[in-house]
Amino acid sequence: MAQATDVRHTPVAPTRTQRLASGAKVGAHRHDDHQIVYAGRGVLSVTTGAGTWVAPANRAVWVPAGTVHQHQAHGDLELHLVGLPAWENPLGLDAPAVVAVSPLLRELIISYTRTENDDSQEHRRLRAVLLDQLRTSVHQPVHLPTPHDPLLRALCDLLRSDPSDNRTLAELGREVGASRRTLSRLFSDDLGMTFPQWRTQLRLHRALVLLAEDTPVTRIAHQCGWSSAGAFIDVFRRAFGHTPGTYRQRRERSVSL
C-alpha cells in the first residue's frame, strides 16, 4: 500500500459503473463513506494494509468508511461501485469482507449503478431492496491476509512468486532461517490461519486471476501447485460453490450481455 501522504481522499464514495482494462489499477484512496465494490465482468482484487480480497462475479467486496484501499483489474473489468453513508451499515461490519452476490443482488447492483446522482423515487426503492439483500448476504472467506512479521513476510513472498512451490513448511523455513514450529506459531498469531490454509487461499486467488485471463484449467492447476486438474476443480468447488468451468461460463454470459 502507498504511504499515507500518497493516499487520495474522496469524502463521498461514488455510485457508478466504471470500466478498467486488464491489469489497470486504481491507486490507494479512502472515502468517508462505506462502499460495495462489485465486478460484473472480470475479477477484482481489493488490497488494504490487512491483505487482499479477490472477488469473481458471484462475490462483492465490502470496504468500510475510512479504509485505505486500492483496486486491480484481472481481465477486462466492469466495476460497479455503491456508496453508502457511514451511518448506514447493512452488513454490520467494520472491516473489509467478501460477501456472496445472488442473481437478484447482482441485477440490483448493476441497475442501481447505471446512473449517478439519481434521486428519483424509483431509484430510492431500488436502493431499499438492494440494502435488504445485502443484510442477508453470506460473508465469504476469500481473504488473503498480509503478514507483518519479517520472517513470515519473506516466506509468503516466496510462495506469492511461485504458488506451485510444494515445499513443506520445514523446507521453506530453512530458506528463510526459521523453524517449522516458529513459523506455525507465526501463521496462527499473525494471520489467524494455518500454513496449509494460507497457501490454499493464495492458490485460489491466483487461480481466479488466471481464469480471468482465459488460462486453461489444466495449466491453472499446474501453475498453482495442484497435483491434477481434478484436484484443483474439487478445491475450487468447495471454496466457491461451483466449478471453474461454471465460473467461466458465467463470465462469458456477462460479457455477451
pLDDT of residue 104: 93
Average pLDDT, the chain: 87
Closest among 117, 121, 152, 129 to 14, alpha carbons compared:
117
pLDDT of residue 253: 53
pLDDT of residue 211: 86
CA distance 235 to 242: 10
Q: Which three cell numbers stand for residue 221?
A: 492447476
Mean pLDDT of the 82-93 span: 91
CA distance 101 to 112: 14
Phi, psi (5° rounding) for residue 227? -70, -25
Give the DSSP H or E segment for 35: strand 34-48
Strands (DSSP E) contained in 134-226 are 139-140, 143-145
Task: Name the band, by pLDDT with cuts 50, 70 and 90, for residue 257.
Answer: very low
Give the DSSP H or E segment for 207: helix 195-212
Q: Write out pLDDT tens, residues 210-236.
A: 988 889 999 999 999 999 999 999 999
Mean pLDDT of the 101-120 span: 88
Mean pLDDT of the 197-207 span: 93
User: For 28-179, where are the alpha helices, taking DSSP H only?
Assistant: 103-112, 121-135, 150-161, 169-176
Strands (DSSP E) contained in 143-251 are 143-145
Domains of the chain in sequence order:
4-143 (2.60.120.10), 147-256 (1.10.10.60)
- Cβ burial, residue 209 (10 Å; 0-12/13-18/19+): buried
Q: Write out pLDDT tens, residues 128-171.
A: 999 999 998 877 666 788 899 999 999 999 999 999 999 999 99
Task: Name the band, by pLDDT with cuts 50, 70 and 90, for residue 3.
Answer: low
pLDDT of residue 208: 87
pLDDT of residue 213: 83
Task: Please enumerate in sequence order all residues whose Cβ is within 8 A of that of 86, keeping only pairs 6 or more positions apart, or say none.
Answer: 32, 33, 34, 65, 66
pLDDT of residue 5: 54
Mean pLDDT of the 123-130 span: 93
Closest among 51, 63, 48 to 145, alpha carbons compared:
51
CA distance 173 to 141: 26
Q: How many CB atoms lie within 10 A of CB 48?
A: 21
Sign (positive/negative) of CA torsion 230, 234, 237, 240? negative
pLDDT of residue 162: 96
CA distance 123 to 222: 47
Dihedral of the CA atoms 67, 240, 21, 153 (nearest 10)? Answer: 50
CA distances to 109, 152, 163, 226, 227 from 235, in Å: 29, 25, 15, 9, 12
pLDDT of residue 255: 47
Q: Write out pLDDT tens, residues 26-62.
A: 899 999 999 999 988 888 889 988 888 888 777 899 9
- Which has the minimum average pLDDT: 106-110, 175-179, 245-249? 245-249
CA distance 31 to 19: 20
Task: Name the band, by pLDDT with cuts 50, 70 and 90, for residue 1.
Answer: low
CA distance 96 to 186: 22
DSSP state of 228: S
Mean pLDDT of the 172-196 span: 94
**Predicted TM-score of the model (pTM):** 0.76
